Structure 1
């Protein structure tokens, strides 16, 4: 195991940071990447506290040259790449009439095209090692959520792409999985830069629905939040299982939530649920 190399994106905080530490603790040589290496202090401290070493490198998933340089650097320095965990992502809160189309494009650029950039660059090396391609999506990649249209659309796209890619990659010896967290107690919401009172005041005709969502479902979500370390165990499971499942949820809550959709042939169960959040 000590010779196996995993590259993880988006490791400055939250689930990505916890997954990098957990992988290193399990014996993986862990390349922890982040867009801005000046934000790596928390990552370094977590590694030191856990008594593990991380290979910290710069990688911007939206920049193909940055992705290529990072992957090439790993191969040059370590000679192999056995797994990739696509974790980098960006949140977004808003609804169609109040968003710009450019807002939506930016969400797709990070959460969807960023995943493709990294995966495409890594696949030749994962084929060579018989490796694993793991992508952190979200329960929002299964169940569409009000005021998260752009974010859910990006995560739906990732899930559809990876579900379609999985049998093709498997034929060539590469295992493909998606990890679906529910709410995680991390800096994710803070990183969006939301002031909910301001958002509600600016929501116009959507203010009542947004207020109902925030005071009801969002509050319930956060009360069910896992720690990043707990959620990271599901990433580790996908990394280490003899035959990992394609779809891995990080908690019982996430399994129940996604199960509503996966058993909902005509869509009525999900629509009944989500309409209740804004009613």
Structure 2
């Protein structure tokens, strides 16, 4: 039986991925920072192996991976899904706030991957990371978040050929808008009301951006549909490096990939800020 460790499984894409990976024949180790939030997962997977993992805590990462190996003897796949959204712009927030976003969304991925890689190499396994279309296209008021996701994409793109030669297949998954608690978490983590109230000259730009974002998430992809793409990468005979989770995400990232001088992309994202 193959063993898959999935991070960030309390809600959304991570929860759905854990369920679908089990259905695909994997034994899933479902991790989350607060195991008190495991109720929805246990309802879907009554026998789930749920473990605490804080991706920002090196001791938590080391202990979790060591325990998985001790209990299961192997690790065939790591799915890095844990992350946190953030809305802001540098003149209105601290550099420490940006560092915090990088810690969760980039260095968390780095730490878990480093701990898992020896075991993935032994299993000739899979390394899959949920990034974002924001890892390809920088978006207004998502500077820190997109910087972290860009970093993840660049890191994985650089790592892929190296560990690929040693038997580990690397893939990144790029969702667009997904109907999960992620947006609520962005609002809580960023304190948007205070951000808007104190925005000064930025206030109309933030208002236009938030209006546009609310519209895009009203037609968001389901977490289940996104997780289906994650598990397709997990089970593919020859997985690709990059997967978008919807036609809309593929079209959006395609703007960047076909825009050699960057002008089309700047025109697109500037329009998000209103007249």
Alignment TM-score, normalising by the size of structure 1 = 0.95
* TM-fit CA distance, 1:224: 2.8
1:90-142 Cα shifts (integer Å, max 9, x gaps): 11100010010000000000000000000000000000000010000000000
1:213-262 Cα shifts (integer Å, max 9, x gaps): 1112x033213311111110010011000111100011111000111111
Is it true that 1:65 corresponds to 2:59 in the alignment? yes
1:163-194 Cα shifts (integer Å, max 9, x gaps): 00000010000001100011110100111315
Is it true that 1:13 corresponds to 2:11 in the alignment? yes
* TM-fit CA distance, 1:198: 4.2
SS in structure 1 at match of 2:220: coil
| Match in the other structure for 2:205 | 209
* TM-fit CA distance, 1:72: 0.7
Once residues 157 and 168 of structure 1 are traced to their aligned partners in structure 2, the CA distance between those partners, rounded to angstroms, is 17
Equivalent residue in structure 1 for 2:154, among 157, 160, 163: 160
* TM-fit CA distance, 1:39: 1.1
Once residues 60 and 267 of structure 1 are traced to their aligned partners in structure 2, the CA distance between those partners, rounded to angstroms, is 37
Is it true that 1:259 corresponds to 2:257 in the alignment? no
SS in structure 1 at match of 2:29: strand
Equivalences for 1:1-279 in 2 at 5 Å? 3-48=1-46, 53-192=47-186, 193=188, 196-216=192-212, 218-279=213-274
SS in structure 2 at match of 1:60: coil
Runs of 4+ in structure 1 off by over 4 angstroms are 194-198
1:247-279 Cα shifts (integer Å, max 9, x gaps): 001111100011111111100111010000003
Once residues 273 and 155 of structure 1 are traced to their aligned partners in structure 2, the CA distance between those partners, rounded to angstroms, is 20
Once residues 191 and 41 of structure 1 are traced to their aligned partners in structure 2, the CA distance between those partners, rounded to angstroms, is 18
Aligned-residue Cα RMSD (Å) equals 1.1
Tell me if the contact between 2:130 and 2:174 (Cα under 8 Å) persists in the aligned partners: yes
The number of aligned residues is 272
Tell me if the contact between 1:24 and 1:54 (Cα under 8 Å) persists in the aligned partners: no
Structure 2, unpaired ranges of 5+? none
Alignment TM-score, normalising by the size of structure 2 = 0.96
* TM-fit CA distance, 1:196: 4.4
Residue range with higher mean Cα deviation, 221-230 or 21-30: 221-230
Once residues 254 and 273 of structure 1 are traced to their aligned partners in structure 2, the CA distance between those partners, rounded to angstroms, is 15
Once residues 121 and 233 of structure 1 are traced to their aligned partners in structure 2, the CA distance between those partners, rounded to angstroms, is 26
